[in-house]
Structure 1
Amino acid sequence: MADKKFDKLLAEAQAAYNRKDKRKGDKLVGEILNADFNHLGAWQLLQRVYGGGRPLSEFQRFFTLQYYPDKLYLINKPAQTAERAADAVPPKKASFWRRLFGGRRETPAAKAPDGAPKPTGAPSIEQSPSQFLFSAPPKPRQTGTETAPPNLAPSDLAPSKPDASYPFLPTTSPYSTSGGRIDMPIPGIANGSTKSGKKIHCVVVDDISQTRETVIRTLRFQENIEVDGTAANGVQAVQLVRELKPEVVIMDVNMPDMDGITATSLIKREVPYTQVIILTVQDDVDYIRRAMNAGARDFLAKPPVIEELVAAVERAAEIARREKEKMPVPIDLLSVGTASGKSKGKILTIYSPRGGTGCTTLTCNLAATLRNDDTKVVIVDGNLQYGDVAVFFNVMNKTSILDLAPRVDELDIELVDEVLVTHTSGIRILSPSRPERSELVTGPQFSQILTFLSEHYDYVIVDTAHRLNDVTLAALDKSDMIVLLTSQDIPSIARVRKFLDLVPGLKLDTRRLLVIMNQFDQRIMVDPEKVGHTFNQKIAAVLPLDNAVVINAINRGAPFMLQKDITSRPLGRAFNLASEVVRQRLMELAQAAVQ
């Protein structure tokens, strides 16, 4: 709950600073630092506002935090000048002071005797912020070889024993005293590289090519930062992060197909340690809060200041590496598979108890969406009588699954490659034989074929018949995920409900079920959310009705998701989101299996 409260305060502070309301922003940041002095996000925000364009390392070197009875201050050590940093809320418990300062300070209730001079370096409560910010503090007096703060005796310079429970030790600055002020280093990262000394790997995402090039040119001069790739929208960004697994993503917000907030959420689910820096011109509190809830690490105004951008990347990279080290399982072991066959691929079965809902359309286009140069996909047409997958891809098959079924105990990759048909997109297809020979393939044979294919392909996608025969049941039982397809018509909803009633008897894990509504028409008064309540299963994705695109693609023999401009249509964007939902559910299932 505390983290959510801090996120809300930080978002409100960011919005206040964007509105040039520094007093409001300072107060909110002060509340965070009073509760959690080591809150990195609060320090980053202070550095951006009061750092004067300095990178965080320089900000750390020349500025330190000092606490007066009722305010926080940033102290510029070389000039001995003070900047107001926050109107802090004074803590009520003395244990706070003991924890924070190791007993070197009395509780706020302990006041100086009447008539005792106030520390000259600290403004009075009555002094206005403008008077404080623009009035020069008195010069410190010299005592021997050290410089003492105003109104402090030389004996006050005696070092205090640091509190072992506090993560940051006091610096050797003469401002570290047992009197009224405490000097603490600002949490930060050394200039030039992360603590690990390794290259920082980044991905830049923006739909405007000029902005991408500007960011790349900015980072190119940093020896410790390397831009591994760029993307023009959120969909490309998620795919690129999945392949490259960078430490940092620099993300625009307003993009076509998929915005930066949605992409950030998907990236954080798929590669949890990757840190996202948002580039935005937005200053709305709710907007910033949404981005933070999605997992964004930092915010920079467009166009970003060079020093701020570099510092933000270095901070994010260090956090990414720390989070990666904390992961109980390497991220590579949670991936859906490898093209090299070193880990088992995932078997997806597309099923609907009612015909005409679009199972084959979903199978072919989902394969087109999931497949790339590093991800091998094979489609198995499990409708052994009247399967149409080959027709949807406009390929002819001289071989079929019947060439493999009698030899399931001696399968090898050379034999399987000879039987599979290859589409120009790189998708492989295992087709059925003639309808009258469909009964020659048994459920156990079909299951063994799927197992073998999963050892050599990242995704094995099975298109099934609507009847629950031995082959369909074998596919459902062998699947890592079952995509259950429904439409808005009442017979389809009723049949899916009946199938869900059978699931316990079939001993299928309901966590492996993913319900998708296809052919959604807004003119029909059937709400997907209410249908989900009927199923007791959330509708994970909704694919809109677009007969013009679908029928044209079928007649041409080319899945519509292979078209370059398909994301300009709602159906294309919905399919991209559906494929990401599939990937995310597979990742969650893999993590749950490991744990």
Structure 2
Amino acid sequence: MPGRTGVDVLGGAMSHGGRSVVVFSPRGGTGTTTLAIALATWLAGLRPGHNSVALLDFHLPFGNLAAMLGLAPAFTLGGADQHWTPADIGRVFTPTSLGCNVVASPNDPLVAESVTVLECASALAFASAHHDLMVVDIGSNLNEATLLALESATALVMVVNGDPQALPAAAAARATLGLLGIPVDDIVLVANRVGSVHQLDSGTIGRALGHRAIYEVPDSPDVALAVKKGRSLMRDWPDHPWSVAVGRIGELCLGNDVSGLPALPRDGRRSWLGRRTRRRGHQPIGPPTVAIGRP
């Protein structure tokens, strides 16, 4: 009897389980992991206390999601098993203070290199069966495992930045996804760190890629400070312009269907910023969408 493939393991799990948001970038260093964590935090905040969101690190072999969250998980992707039962939930998923459950990549790159597509498929299927939503960080790798995640995605977020040298890779990645049968016009294209010096603006990026619309995430030193302090800007400061922009991307991934869901609290824990912020107002920001006409 032939061995089971990753597609076999997934089977109908994705159709009967939760929705999957895949975060991808054609180039490393664009912030996919930071964005994936923030999206998972925002999604978990819609149903606090329900363990409704799983966050998976398919950024192999150098995924650092667990390190960024300060986790030391007992289980990683390398131990995935297609015969899991509900009794394994507590062993497989590492809970976080952000409200999402994590399946991390192995911290040893050599072990991570040996993770099979079958193990990745088992993790996806199990997470889908026990969560309403999944966020999968696949980084900038296109391999058998990440292609499986892409094919099962209900929303694909492609992260780019304004580095002119990165545009050819972004264009090639978009074309490749199209050849793989992924509807490229449905991709949520995100320009990260908008406003950085010597970077292209989002309009120029969108026109160069021939994409209908691009969604901006502003540059902010508070993001790097939060990472350094081991904090979550999304949780601690949900009305920060960066958090608001990420939340709107989350709405797009849900099809803008967030009616009836509670808003995140407006007053977070921000003493770690080292400055007074609770009473300081913010300039309102407009919608992140930048309409792009076809070239």
The counterpart of 1:398, out of the listed 44, 55, 74, is: 74
Within 5 Å, give how 1:94-493 maps onto structure 2: 343-371=16-44, 372-373=47-48, 374=50, 376-404=52-80, 407-408=81-82, 410-433=83-106, 434-493=108-167
Tell me how far apart the structure 2 counterparts of residues 491 and 446 of structure 1 sit (CA, whole Å): 32
Residue pair 1:447, 1:478 contacting (<8 A) in 2 also = no
Q: Which has the greater radius of gyration? A: 1
Confirm or deny that 1:542 pairs with 2:216: yes
Residue pair 1:350, 1:363 contacting (<8 A) in 2 also = yes
Confirm or deny that 1:576 pairs with 2:250: no
| CA positional deviation for 1:357 | 0.6
1:532 maps to 206
| CA positional deviation for 1:464 | 1.1
Residue pair 2:38, 2:234 contacting (<8 A) in 1 also = yes
| CA positional deviation for 1:506 | 1.6
Change (3 A) 1:428 1:526: same
Residue pair 2:63, 2:105 contacting (<8 A) in 1 also = yes
Residue pair 1:392, 1:558 contacting (<8 A) in 2 also = no
Tell me how far apart the structure 2 counterparts of residues 448 and 494 of structure 1 sit (CA, whole Å): 34
Confirm or deny that 1:508 pairs with 2:182: yes
Residue pair 1:519, 1:545 contacting (<8 A) in 2 also = yes
Change (3 A) 1:507 1:360: same
1:33 maps to none
SS in 2 for 1:397: coil
| CA positional deviation for 1:491 | 2.2
Aligned CA RMSD, in angstroms, stands at: 2.3
Tell me how far apart the structure 1 counterparts of residues 35 and 19 of structure 2 sit (CA, whole Å): 17
Tell me how far apart the structure 2 counterparts of residues 530 and 453 of structure 1 sit (CA, whole Å): 38
2:293 maps to none
Residue pair 2:60, 2:141 contacting (<8 A) in 1 also = no
Q: Deviations over 1:219-274 (max 9, x none)?
A: xxxxxxxxxxxxxxxxxxxxxxxxxxxxxxxxxxxxxxxxxxxxxxxxxxxxxxxx
SS in 2 for 1:455: helix
Tell me how far apart the structure 1 counterparts of residues 66 and 112 of structure 2 sit (CA, whole Å): 16
Residue pair 1:540, 1:581 contacting (<8 A) in 2 also = no
Q: Deviations over 1:294-336 (max 9, x none)?
A: xxxxxxxxxxxxxxxxxxxxxxxxxxxxxxxxxxxxxxxxxxx
5+ residue gaps, structure 2, are 1-13, 259-295
1:190 maps to none
Tell me how far apart the structure 2 counterparts of residues 444 and 480 of structure 1 sit (CA, whole Å): 20
| CA positional deviation for 1:442 | 1.8
5+ residue gaps, structure 1, are 1-340, 588-595
The counterpart of 1:554, out of the listed 208, 220, 227, is: 227
Q: Deviations over 1:517-565 (max 9, x none)?
A: 100016546331232222222334200001x2111111222221010x3
Residue pair 1:517, 1:541 contacting (<8 A) in 2 also = yes
| CA positional deviation for 1:566 | 4.1
Residue pair 2:163, 2:199 contacting (<8 A) in 1 also = no
Output the TM-score relative to the length of structure 2: 0.75
Among all aligned residue pairs of Structure 1 and Structure 2, give the percentage whose two residues are the same amino acid. 22
Tell me how far apart the structure 2 counterparts of residues 523 and 431 of structure 1 sit (CA, whole Å): 34
| CA positional deviation for 1:375 | 6.4
2:283 maps to none
| CA positional deviation for 1:585 | 5.9
Tell me how far apart the structure 1 counterparts of residues 129 and 166 of structure 2 sit (CA, whole Å): 35
Residue pair 2:76, 2:103 contacting (<8 A) in 1 also = yes
Residue pair 2:40, 2:53 contacting (<8 A) in 1 also = yes
| CA positional deviation for 1:499 | 0.6
Tell me how far apart the structure 2 counterparts of residues 586 and 534 of structure 1 sit (CA, whole Å): 30
Change (3 A) 1:509 1:413: farther
SS in 2 for 1:484: strand
Task: Give the AA of the match of 1:413.
Answer: P
Residue pair 2:33, 2:139 contacting (<8 A) in 1 also = no
Residue pair 2:56, 2:137 contacting (<8 A) in 1 also = yes
Residue pair 1:543, 1:575 contacting (<8 A) in 2 also = yes
Tell me how far apart the structure 2 counterparts of residues 350 and 576 of structure 1 sit (CA, whole Å): 14
SS in 2 for 1:441: coil
Task: Give the AA of the match of 1:472.
Answer: T
